[in-house]
Structure 1
Amino acid sequence: MLLSLHVKNFAIIDEVEVYFKDHLNILTGETGAGKSILIDSINVALGGKVTKDIIRKNCEYALVELVFVTNRPEVLKLLEENDLPTEDGQILISRKIMTNGRSICKLNGENVTAQLLKDIATLLLDIHGQHEHQSLLYKHKHLEMIDRFAKEEAAVHKEKVQELYHSYQKLKEEYDNAEIDEDKRLRELSFLEYEMNEIEEAKLVMDEDISLQAEYKKLSNANLINENLSGAYKQTSDSSDSAADLVSRAVKFLSKISEYDLQLNGFLTQLIDIEGLLNDFNRDVSEYLSDSGDGLEGFIEVENRLNLINHLKSKYGNSIGEIFNYYKNLDSKKKKYEAYDEYLQDLRQKIDVTEQKLRKECEILSSIRRKTSSQLAEKMKAALIDLNFLDVNFEIEIKQLNNYTVNGLDEAEFMISTNPGEPIRPLAKIASGGELSRIMLAIKSVMAKKDDIQTLIFDEIDVGISGRTAQKVSEKLGLLAGEHQILCITHLPQIAAMADTHFIIEKNTDGISTNTNIRQLDETEVVQELARILGGAKITDNVLTNALEMKELANHTKKYR
């Protein structure tokens, strides 16, 4: 469940912190007070989109923090898979949005991606926004709801269908692209052989271009190398006052006196070592100079080899390794074109086998969906009756498509009749805005018994309803709150009266800036807030009496949940 929400510098909110409770948390307030901004902040904290005006004016950042507590295995597994710490099932989610558009997402103190926040959000809570009921107008959403109701029974086969569908489509695409006439096949084969011969004749060796580049660098600077190396050789050996000659003389001087002092003997040893190193150096340099020659022939050979390799790189890959991989692909294509009929036959067989597996999984999934849709329709009808659809008829129609999709062969559509004598018709064609809101609440209530999601958020579920229908909606929310934590923004007194915990959202201004606050109401304040919603601008004693009676009736109703 959601324990707390902390919001700072968000839209018209300076800073608020609210602690939510179990069961039904109701949020009310005047229009424009900022009720939906709180829901928006929760969406943002859980990886939702960020708009430019989200940061409060003259502030450098906006911050939203959520604290959850959960024991759901799926949540704990997701945390473990991402090496995220958790203690006693408590989860701290924070998102800081900067003025440059960047944001920092953290989960239990560790930096995470916005996508991970979205993934964990789907396991922690379900948010029903002001316009979400409009999704009921789209048939593909109906199939999603059926699969969600079926849970693991459908999920396993749906995953197999999706995997087989992608394999099937890939094989079909390969087959469609592979069909060519005989002349084109021979041309392709000839071109493949040309490219393979070009690579074979080069007789490439792995990484030889690296050693050739080093050799090319050396040979292209041969004159400079010889000039400076000869100069060094002359200074160390090839003159009467060279370093080698001078060191040799110094050795002779020290040899005459070394026996008189042990320290002098050490000097002599060091100098003899230096003499030896100089002799070795001069010998090696002499051999290098004698072997180098003019280097022109070797330079041309290296340059030509590098040109050849670079030419092949420009055609077949950026490295010799990539050229080798390209050659392997050529060889594979060549074998395919040489035995083209066998290749097509094998590909066709793979398509047939994959399609058979796909159709089998689709049929299993369809069977599960038909069984599930029957159960869902029955529960939906009962839930709709509870929401004051007294003569409702609700069915789910599942049709089989002529072609495979990533979701199988099924298309589902919710069908409804809300009045006696009316034929059952597609939901999208007959439901009004208020009816859609109630239908969505019915779906949420039915799904909630299947889902393990503890927290449900409803942002103005009361759109387009009033009177007895509003009372029925409030009772349904009260029952649902017996099993789930619910946060609900409402304008209706019938729903607000059902609150287990009631918060008011208020907007204050000093003429310069505006700020939104939220606080929990005590019992007396709850009745006064209900009276405000009931009576509008003027609250009379009769209105207060009605508000008190409404709260007492709601408390009585909740005893039976």
Structure 2
Amino acid sequence: MLTQLYIKNFALIEELSIAFAPGLTIITGETGAGKSILIGALGQVLGARASADFVRSGSKKAVIEATLVPERPEVILPLLAEAGIDPAEELILRREIPVNGQSRCFINDSPCTLQVLKQAGDLLIDLHGQHEHQMLLHPEMHVSLLDDYAGLAPLLTSYREVRAELNATRKKLSRLRADADRIRDKRSMLEYRLEELTSLDLREGEAGEIENEIVLLENAETLHTLSSGLSKLLYDDETSAFVQLSEAVHRFDRLAEIDGTFSVLLEEIRNAAGIVEELSRSVRGYSENIEFNPERLEELRERQHLLQRTAKKHGRSVEGLVELRNDIADELAAEENLPERTEELEQLSATLRQQLSELAESLSSDRKHAAAELEESVVSELAVLGIPDCIFRVLLTKEASLEGDILLDGACFNAFDNGCDRVEFLISTNPGEEPRPLAKIASGGEISRVMLAMKSVLARSARLPILIFDEIDTGISGAIASAVGKSLKRLSATHQILSITHLPQIAAMADRHLCVEKAVRGDRTTSSVRQLDEGEHIEAVASLFSGRERSESSLQVAAELVEQAKAL
């Protein structure tokens, strides 16, 4: 439901805030007062094309903000999530139109693109201008309207799930076949590379081990010299550290015999001597085990060079050769299972295609039955609205294709997101004329009534709970106007309706009546909106009969129309 519309510096409007309520809201006012400016402003937050000309003279920018409470939040939630907008109970759509530069769009104070704003508006409001926001004039929407009317949502969900699984299976199958072709084309090369790598008898971490061992063998003389000299310093020479520490131990021992405070230091010096002795044994053992092996060094160098050449050849590091060998082995092993895996996916694909065809056939059958009911209902509604001799058709067609996924009676048809049917509404409003697409109806009055008839028939299932009519009374009067007013009144039981009208028969049906007025303040013209009380409502309806000079008879007729509307 639309609860609030705020407009600032838009066309003739300086600033106003309008509260809306459920039911039927009628908007009236003298010609040029700015009734259509309200609808135009609302169109801006629904993503209509903006222009700097909309900004009120002397202002830097225009701001339009619409506050809505979605009756079916699940419809809008996916769009908000994709746009990174946090959901809330209220949805605030805002458009700022500067004198210079591009307009800015917001949803719940979060910046968004114009496309996202328009998509949100399309999901929430059907604004029926002369040629804008008219769902029924877009053939691509007809299948959804028919499906809503027929209650096909569960069947559609099943169809889409199977179609998604079929597409996913086909992608897997395509990748599998591509892999098979790729491996088949280069199998000989892969086998050669695997044999080459396998013959190297590669080990994890081998390159590092070789490098370390080469360093040790290349520096064997230096290592032996250093470790031998260190052994002498620590233990072997007459002036070694161990000899010196042993003498120190002897002296600390004598001191401790005289002064017990040296006992702790004695223990520490003994530990130091023990450490030096242990170090000397380790160094001696290391020195004795140093290998002088030129043959081994040459062997390691050759192995290192071989690994480096092979790594360069394959564009890998030496460490990556093991991974490469394993990858090639896995790739060749996978080919052996390709025929079996391919057959499994082909069988699954065939099964899913059969299921998809069965679901598409069920959708088509249900649509045919619903189409017949919808045709009859729309014709009846249009007769009430003053188009008695019309023909309304729901055209269902399919696209034949040799590669289509839907198989019906031995023929293949393309599979769309909602089945295999193309749906379009056709109409003829004059006897003798063949039904044509709705978008080709020339008369504005006929368009308005066809729209109203369709919306009335589809009221139980229409996805847009807010309907706005800018020209619902174009080209009608008298009894037809009364019929249109009653139809709007009935429709407002399930939808929030906003309608601009010039006809008293329609205005009398209002649950709330807004009057647009234009006044000159200083040297500026300003439009404003005022909600009428019951007495003013009757006077406004009477004015639509007789103009500003309301007669007693016009007031009486207006009061009677209002009372009749209450009875509805």
Structure 1, gaps ≥5 residues long: 227-232
Distance 1:435 1:361 in 2: 37
Structure 1 position 376, deviation (Å): 1.5
1:191 to 186, 190, 199: 186
Instruction: Give 2:69's aligned residue.
Output: 68
2:427 to 416, 419, 437: 416
Matches within 5 A, 1:182-331: 189-195=184-190, 198=193, 331=333
Are 2:60 and 1:58 equivalent residues in the alignment?
A: yes
User: Which deviates more, 465-474 or 133-142?
Assistant: 133-142
Matches within 5 A, 1:69-468: 70=71, 74=74, 91-95=89-93, 104-106=106-108, 125-130=124-129, 131-132=131-132, 136-151=136-151, 154-165=152-163, 168=166, 189-195=184-190, 198=193, 331-333=333-335, 335-336=337-338, 339=339, 349-402=347-400, 403-406=413-416, 407-420=418-431, 422=433, 424=435, 427=438, 432-451=443-462, 455-462=465-472, 464-468=474-478
User: Which deviates more, 75-84 or 408-417?
Assistant: 75-84
Q: Do the aligned partners of residues 178 and 499 (structure 1) sit closer, same or farther apart at CA in structure 2, a change above 3 Å counting?
A: same
- Secondary structure of the equivalent of 1:435? helix
Distance 2:517 2:332 in 1: 72
Q: Does structure 2 conserve the Cα–Cα contact (< 8 Å) formed by 1:494 and 1:550?
A: no
- Secondary structure of the equivalent of 1:495? helix
Instruction: Give 2:562's aligned residue.
Output: 555
Distance 1:472 1:302 in 2: 96
- Secondary structure of the equivalent of 1:17? strand
Q: Do the aligned partners of residues 303 and 357 (structure 1) sit closer, same or farther apart at CA in structure 2, a change above 3 Å counting?
A: farther
Count of residue correspondences: 515
What is the one-letter code of the residue matched to 1:556? E
Q: Does structure 2 conserve the Cα–Cα contact (< 8 Å) formed by 1:54 and 1:62?
A: no
Q: Does structure 2 conserve the Cα–Cα contact (< 8 Å) formed by 1:473 and 1:495?
A: yes
Query: Cα deviation per residue 1:361-394 (whole Å; 9 max; x = unaligned)?
Result: 1111111111111222222122212221122333
- Secondary structure of the equivalent of 2:16? strand
Q: Do the aligned partners of residues 16 and 360 (structure 1) sit closer, same or farther apart at CA in structure 2, a change above 3 Å counting?
A: same
Structure 1 position 138, deviation (Å): 4.8
Q: Does structure 2 conserve the Cα–Cα contact (< 8 Å) formed by 1:212 and 1:302?
A: no
Structure 1 position 446, deviation (Å): 1.5
Distance 2:323 2:535 in 1: 79
2:484 to 448, 473, 477: 473
Q: Do the aligned partners of residues 172 and 545 (structure 1) sit closer, same or farther apart at CA in structure 2, a change above 3 Å counting?
A: same
Matches within 5 A, 1:507-518: 517-518=528-529
What is the one-letter code of the residue matched to 1:541? E
Distance 1:158 1:497 in 2: 42
What is the one-letter code of the residue matched to 1:141? M
Q: Do the aligned partners of residues 41 and 141 (structure 1) sit closer, same or farther apart at CA in structure 2, a change above 3 Å counting?
A: closer
Instruction: Give 1:230's aligned residue.
Output: none
User: Which deviates more, 113-122 or 159-168?
Assistant: 113-122
Distance 1:322 1:492 in 2: 82
Instruction: Give 1:229's aligned residue.
Output: none
Query: Cα deviation per residue 1:333-377 (whole Å; 9 max; x = unaligned)?
Result: 5654xx5xx787666644543332222111111111111112222
Q: CA RMSD in A?
A: 6.5
Structure 1 position 149, deviation (Å): 0.8
Structure 1 position 17, deviation (Å): 2.5
- Secondary structure of the equivalent of 1:498? coil
What is the one-letter code of the residue matched to 1:37? G
Distance 2:145 2:362 in 1: 18
Q: Do the aligned partners of residues 519 and 155 (structure 1) sit closer, same or farther apart at CA in structure 2, a change above 3 Å counting?
A: same
Distance 1:390 1:66 in 2: 40
Q: Do the aligned partners of residues 162 and 311 (structure 1) sit closer, same or farther apart at CA in structure 2, a change above 3 Å counting?
A: farther
Instruction: Give 2:24's aligned residue.
Output: 24
Structure 1 position 192, deviation (Å): 3.7
Instruction: Give 1:35's aligned residue.
Output: 38
Q: Which has the higher contact order (CA 8 A, sep 6+)?
A: 1
Q: Do the aligned partners of residues 96 and 39 (structure 1) sit closer, same or farther apart at CA in structure 2, a change above 3 Å counting?
A: closer
What is the one-letter code of the residue matched to 2:393? E
2:506 to 495, 516, 523: 495
After TM superposition, the score normalised by the length of structure 1 is 0.64
Q: Does structure 2 conserve the Cα–Cα contact (< 8 Å) formed by 1:34 and 1:516?
A: no
What is the one-letter code of the residue matched to 2:420? L
- Secondary structure of the equivalent of 2:386? coil
Q: Do the aligned partners of residues 14 and 201 (structure 1) sit closer, same or farther apart at CA in structure 2, a change above 3 Å counting?
A: farther
What is the one-letter code of the residue matched to 2:18? V
Query: Cα deviation per residue 1:91-118 (whole Å; 9 max; x = unaligned)?
Result: 22235667887655339xx999999988
What is the one-letter code of the residue matched to 1:35? L
Distance 1:418 1:398 in 2: 20
Q: Does structure 2 conserve the Cα–Cα contact (< 8 Å) formed by 1:479 and 1:558?
A: no
Distance 1:507 1:201 in 2: 91
Q: Do the aligned partners of residues 143 and 94 (structure 1) sit closer, same or farther apart at CA in structure 2, a change above 3 Å counting?
A: closer
Structure 1 position 436, deviation (Å): 2.1
Query: Cα deviation per residue 1:413-445 (whole Å; 9 max; x = unaligned)?
Result: 334332345555554555633322211211111
Q: Does structure 2 conserve the Cα–Cα contact (< 8 Å) formed by 1:462 and 1:470?
A: no
Structure 2, gaps ≥5 residues long: 220-225, 234-240, 292-296, 401-412
Q: Do the aligned partners of residues 96 and 176 (structure 1) sit closer, same or farther apart at CA in structure 2, a change above 3 Å counting?
A: closer
Q: Does structure 2 conserve the Cα–Cα contact (< 8 Å) formed by 1:192 and 1:334?
A: no
Query: Cα deviation per residue 1:48-102 (whole Å; 9 max; x = unaligned)?
Result: 888888888535x9573515275x685799899999999xxx8222356678876
- Secondary structure of the equivalent of 1:482? coil
Q: Do the aligned partners of residues 344 and 62 (structure 1) sit closer, same or farther apart at CA in structure 2, a change above 3 Å counting?
A: same
Q: Do the aligned partners of residues 170 and 424 (structure 1) sit closer, same or farther apart at CA in structure 2, a change above 3 Å counting?
A: same
- Secondary structure of the equivalent of 1:160? helix
Instruction: Give 1:541's aligned residue.
Output: 549
Distance 1:391 1:553 in 2: 31
